[in-house]
Amino acid sequence: MADMGYRVLGRTGLTVSEVGFGAWAIGGTWGPVAESDATAAIRAALDRGVTFFDTADVYGDGRSECLIAAALRESPGTPVVVATKAGRRLDPHLAEGYSAANLERFVDRSLSNLGVEAMDLLQLHCPPTEVYYRPEVFEALDGLVGAGKIRHYGVSVEKVEEALKAIEYPGVETVQIIFNIFRQRPAGLFFAEAQRRGVGVIVRVPLASGLLTGKMTPETAFAPDDHRSFNRDGSAFDVGETFAGVDFETGLSAVEELRSLVPVGMTMAQFALRWILMFGAVSTVIPGAKDAAQAAANAAASNLPPLDEPTMAAVSDLYSRLIAPQVRHRW
């Protein structure tokens, strides 16, 4: 545990590991992941002091929630915070669906999957923008807090503007957002406002879906049921969730340039995570991991030295030149 850093998750007051665990890939939509590998990944994260797990009711239709619950049952008493999400079971996925009755139904199902009577943190799962302009949705969440089913709630957003609107609701204690070397805009106004309001910031897609590990080439192939095969054009969900919305070839060229900036003693994946941890507004970063080795390597990023100023400036310059034109005005 000693090698992991911990931060406070905004006004929730919860202390969480600064490197958490993103549990989408162990649910589904990322090609096959054996249950044994998924469980070993969770175990490896726990062993290295990870205390924040992010999942959702739709990841593998509940598989991800159930795998986390099963692993935690093996480690009773571990002070872990599990965040799940609701909303994406709606089909069609429309703002009108975010009713008090539907939200309660989704929460009840997640409580059952997680095997708990109250969940630590519920996040709206990238709802349509219109939802942020419907105070009744947030009143419904307040109702679920009052009923003792959720302890805290927040939102997972696609766009900076959605985040800024969401945190105007006093009950919104956390925002989950994409922030990485290829997606730097949240570090501006949003981070300042989140800090000012004491909102916890959960950083997702930190490795740009694996691109920022430096292991991919133009020949890298993905399984047909991996979103990196079927969502490159955004035909299944927001294209920003796949490679952070960066065109694969552009991303690969930028990664080539990044190589020279990675300090000795770090992998590129750890460098990408370390870069995110340089920002004080970040409460926790949640890389996905499909096996124990990935989970352990990601957790170890917490204990690596901070990046120096010239390196931070060089990353900023690379983003401005190569990546920003594709993403800056979209999210």
Query: Applying CB under 6 A, what is the total number of residues that bind ligand NAP?
Result: 30
Instruction: Out of 87, 206, 245, 251, point to the residue binding ligand NAP (CB under 6 A).
Output: 206
Is 204 a binding residue for ligand NAP by CB under 6 A? The answer is yes
Cβ–Cβ < 8 Å for 89, 57: yes
- Angstrom distance (rounded) from CA 163 to CA 173: 11
- Angstrom distance (rounded) from CA 304 to CA 320: 26
Instruction: Out of 44, 45, 297, 327, point to the residue binding ligand NAP (CB under 6 A).
Output: 297
Instruction: Out of 114, 183, 287, 302, point to the residue binding ligand NAP (CB under 6 A).
Output: 287
CA distances in angstroms from 203 to 64, 155, 240, 255, 272, listed in the order given: 19, 12, 14, 20, 12
Is 327 a binding residue for ligand NAP by CB under 6 A? The answer is no
Is 208 a binding residue for ligand NAP by CB under 6 A? The answer is yes
Cis ω before 92 (30° cut-off from 0): yes
Residue 86, token pair as written in the block: 């609701």
Is 231 a binding residue for ligand NAP by CB under 6 A? The answer is no
R_g (Cα) of the chain, nearest Å: 18
Is 89 a binding residue for ligand NAP by CB under 6 A? The answer is no
Does residue 59 have an active-site annotation? yes
**Nearest-approach distance from CB 78 to ligand NAP, in angstroms:** 19
**Nearest-approach distance from CB 217 to ligand NAP, in angstroms:** 12
Cβ–Cβ < 8 Å for 220, 251: no
Instruction: Between 147 and 262, name the residue whose CB sits nearer to ligand NAP.
Output: 262
Interior CA angle at 110 toward 109 and 115, to 5°? 100
Instruction: Out of 4, 14, 25, 124, point to the residue binding ligand NAP (CB under 6 A).
Output: 25
Instruction: Out of 289, 292, 315, 323, point to the residue binding ligand NAP (CB under 6 A).
Output: 289
**Nearest-approach distance from CB 310 to ligand NAP, in angstroms:** 25
Is 30 a binding residue for ligand NAP by CB under 6 A? The answer is yes
Instruction: Between 215 and 259, name the residue whose CB sits nearer to ligand NAP.
Output: 215
Length of the chain: 331
Residue 133, token pair as written in the block: 């302009």
3-state percent helix, strand, coil for the chain, nearest multiple of 5: 45, 15, 35
Residue 134, token pair as written in the block: 């419907």
CA distances in angstroms from 111 to 7, 23, 24, 78, listed in the order given: 26, 17, 18, 18
Residues between 90 and 119 with contacts to ligand NAP, criterion CB under 6 A = none
**Nearest-approach distance from CB 191 to ligand NAP, in angstroms:** 18
> What are the catalytic residues?
59
Residues in the site for ligand NAP, rule: CB under 6 A?
22-25, 30, 54, 85, 125-126, 156, 176, 204-210, 213, 215, 241, 269, 286-290, 294, 297-298
